[in-house]
Amino acid sequence: MINNISSFKQLEKKIKNNIFSKVFILCDSNTLKYCVPELFNQVPILTSSEIIEVNPGEESKSFEICLNIWTTFLEQTADKKTLLINLGGGVVCDLGAFCASLYKRGIQFVNIPTSMLAMIDAAIGGKNGINLTHFKNSLGTINQATSIIIHDLFLKTLPKIELKNGLVEAYKIALIADKLFWKKLTSNNLSVKQIIKKSISLKLKIVSEDPTEKGLRKILNFGHTIGHALESVFIKNEQKIMHGEAVYMGMIIETHISFQKKLISNIKFQDITKTLLSCLNFTLLKIELQKLKPYLLNDKKNFDHKIQMVLLKDYGKAGFDYAVSLNEIEEAIIYYNNIAIGK
Amino acid sequence: MINNISSFKQLEKKIKNNIFSKVFILCDSNTLKYCVPELFNQVPILTSSEIIEVNPGEESKSFEICLNIWTTFLEQTADKKTLLINLGGGVVCDLGAFCASLYKRGIQFVNIPTSMLAMIDAAIGGKNGINLTHFKNSLGTINQATSIIIHDLFLKTLPKIELKNGLVEAYKIALIADKLFWKKLTSNNLSVKQIIKKSISLKLKIVSEDPTEKGLRKILNFGHTIGHALESVFIKNEQKIMHGEAVYMGMIIETHISFQKKLISNIKFQDITKTLLSCLNFTLLKIELQKLKPYLLNDKKNFDHKIQMVLLKDYGKAGFDYAVSLNEIEEAIIYYNNIAIGK
């Protein structure tokens, strides 16, 4: 079982024991302002480490930014025993893990997720990635972090919308993997701490069974085929979309496709959709299939020239490698757009 | 034991069984002309695959070239079941394996080395890499090829100097790992086929014991601390240096350091140096420590802010993680330059 969840104390101990020749902290301008001081409070020895700052947002997951980071490493003669601490949300964790995994064929890295989304999802499980032009996460590896430190003190620094953004992944993992968790979650019976803890343990269980995503792990992509395509469309847009928002819309559409393929009954489909809409309640953006199409056709899960999706089979149960036609996606988008207009 | 050595027949069978959704062949302009036709003869079904051509030489191991390759993949909607065949020398194998390992978090790849050097070394063992500015192999992963096909028919297409370039790695692996092989090799008792076979089996044995280079595998870097630094110096030079040539010079210098540190006796040091000089007999280029220094300080094996080298302990025996000072390197370079002038 992969379990690389750790603590500030253990990190401090390792650094004091001189395991690392140099320590860098990767952050964005927000986490530099709000989270670095908290981190220094927790692990004072880190005040002497080097800070690398990137702009917040998806556009930092680019090659140009990676080159800047690697050049900084080289200029500072960072060697194989260098540690990179990724302090931030999904973007910082994805980007930092990617840079660490390639530099000199891999240096150690610690993820300290500061957003709900990164705590529940991005920082856990070893996937990293950057975008190629606006094809999301087209490049990456699977490489487990040395350790991951989860602390809810960082959540206080976040706007409320970020909490909801992260909650989407909790809803997703409940829906694909744990009926009871889905019930508790949707009836508002859990604290934020409990939600984070349960979501992480479910994700780690799935990742441990299939770390390199040969099979089972694919179910974590529920909502993400449409979700990633939406994000790709919006990357260069003035109007921004959050990852959680995109996956939320993706889940509604992919639940409809699960129903079209008779994997779930009409009653379950209606109930799941209604629950998602009422519990998460993001504004639904109108979706055009034509704009999504190039990204759907390049989705990482595809094979045999077909779009492959994760679909629901029940509450807490999902299957993967379902070939889905553009017609089926179109039908689901029509259904979705009708709700969007109605809202 | 890692053993991914395969054959054209097995590759053909896999392709005929539709295991892959698309097949790309990466080559340089030389292998396009001389080796692709041979490959098509061996595996006729490959005539329908897509060819990606890069310029020959170390400068193709760059990010710009990777971006071109990945963009081609995206444009052709290459999915996770795509196969990349790397047909070429060390540059093509390193570059192709790197691109395949990152695209959509990893697609399958087959190495078909066409040079002696790549057959014996670069194509074997799962290391890939590209250069960052002129810091050699600063970025990469360790990821085993799906399979490797070794066939000496490609050697006929090569100029003689390329054979000698590859032989250096055979001398290296003999010197660090197999006294008997060293004896046979240096007394000219083996055919090219025998040399390739023995070198590959020695390398696979070492890699299997330590695939991620935590310890033992480091010995494969004998001659490479100086060798890589030399190559880095020459990357942007008009005068080119071959990998084998650089490692050859590196071995002479690092053998002297082994002697300085009293790891080998004066007699053994003299004998090894004399044997290398007489058997391989490359022109020795004059070396300046000042030019090597920035690259030595950024060598991938370094830690604790010290240059770490692999050094000889006997014929067929090497140790790793020896901290070496710039003074020691300078002394060895003075010795080496004296031979260079004398020759």
What is the C-alpha to C-alpha distance for residues B147 and B9, in angstroms, rounded to an integer? 12
pLDDT tops 70 at residue B211: yes
| Local confidence band at B23 (pLDDT 50, 70, 90 cut-offs) | very high
What is the C-alpha to C-alpha distance for residues A198 and B101, in angstroms, rounded to an integer? 32
Residue B92 tokens read as: 């093509």
| Local confidence band at A115 (pLDDT 50, 70, 90 cut-offs) | very high
CB contact under 8 A, A74 and B298: yes
Instruction: Please give the residue of chain A at the shortest CA–CA distance from B297.
Output: A77
What is the C-alpha to C-alpha distance for residues A126 and A98, in angstroms, rounded to an integer? 10
CA distance A3 to chain B (A): 21
Which residue do the tokens 């006997």 mark?
A: B314
| Local confidence band at A343 (pLDDT 50, 70, 90 cut-offs) | low
Closest C-alpha to B173, from B208, B224, B128, B127: B224
> Considering CB atoms only, which of B105, B140, B303 is closest to A129?
B105
CA distance B309 to chain A (A): 14
pLDDT of residue A110: 98
Q: Contact, A106 vs A128, CB < 8 A?
A: no
pLDDT tops 80 at residue B269: yes
Half-sphere exposure of B309 (CA within 13 A, CB side): 30
List the Cα angle B255/B168/B176 in 5-degree steps.
50
CB contact under 8 A, B103 and A138: yes
Closest C-alpha to B203, from B223, B173, B228: B173
List the Cα angle B235/B108/B26 in 5-degree steps.
45
Q: What are the φ and ψ backbone dihedral angles of A131, each rounded to 5 degrees? A: -95, 150
pLDDT of residue B237: 79
Global confidence as pTM: 0.94
Q: Which of A140-149, A228-237, B126-135, B268-277 bottoms out in mean pLDDT, i.e. has the lowest?
A: A228-237
Which region holds residue A316: left if phi is over 0, alpha if psi is between -120 and 50, else beta? left
> Which residues in chain A touch residue B215, judged by CB atoms under 8 angstroms apart?
none
> Which residues in chain B touch residue A106, judged by CB atoms under 8 angstroms apart?
141-142, 212
pLDDT digits (tens, 9 = 90+) for A169-179: 999 999 999 99
CB contact under 8 A, A132 and B67: yes
Average pLDDT value over all residues in chain B? 95
> What sign does the CA torsion over A332, A333, A334, A339 have?
positive
What is the C-alpha to C-alpha distance for residues B276 and B175, in angstroms, rounded to an integer? 10
pLDDT digits (tens, 9 = 90+) for A122-166: 999 999 999 998 788 999 999 999 999 999 999 988 888 999 999
Which of A75, A99, A104, A302 is the best residue to mutate to test the B interface, defined by the most B CB atoms within 10 Å of its own CB? A104
* Mean of pLDDT values over B205-215: 95
Q: State the DSSP code for B122.
A: I
Average pLDDT value over all residues in chain A? 95
pLDDT of residue A74: 94
Cα–Cα distances in angstroms (integers) from residue A127 to residues A212, A213, A230, B214, in the given order: 9, 10, 20, 22
What is the C-alpha to C-alpha distance for residues A200 and A197, in angstroms, rounded to an integer? 5
> What sign does the CA torsion over A183, A185, A187, A190 have?
positive
> Considering CB atoms only, which of B79, B80, B103 is closest to A139?
B103
CB contact under 8 A, B81 and A303: yes
pLDDT digits (tens, 9 = 90+) for B305-320: 899 999 999 999 999 9
pLDDT tops 70 at residue B343: no
| Cβ-proximal residues to B267 (8 Å cutoff; 6+ apart), any chain | none
pLDDT of residue A330: 97
pLDDT of residue B180: 97
pLDDT tops 60 at residue A288: yes
Q: Which residue type sits at B261?
A: K
pLDDT of residue A136: 86
Q: Which residue type sits at A100?
A: A
Distance of CA B233 to the CA centre of its chain: 18
Residue B95 tokens read as: 């570059």
- CB of B322 within 8 Å of any CB in chain A? no
pLDDT of residue B163: 93
pLDDT above 70: percentage of residues in chain B: 100
Q: State the DSSP code for A282.
A: P
Residue A316 tokens read as: 């807490």
The two beta strands, A82-88 and A50-54, are unpaired
**Residue A85 bridge partners (DSSP):** A25, A110
DSSP for B12-59, please give it.
Answer: HHHHHTT--SEEEEEEEHHHHHHTHHHHHHH-GGGGGSEEEEE-SSGG
Q: How many residue pairs bridge chain A and chain B with CB atoms within 8 Å of each other?
A: 105
Residue A77 tokens read as: 């003669």
Residue A259 tokens read as: 């129903």
Q: Identify the H or E element spanning A147.
A: strand A147-149
* Mean of pLDDT values over A223-233: 95
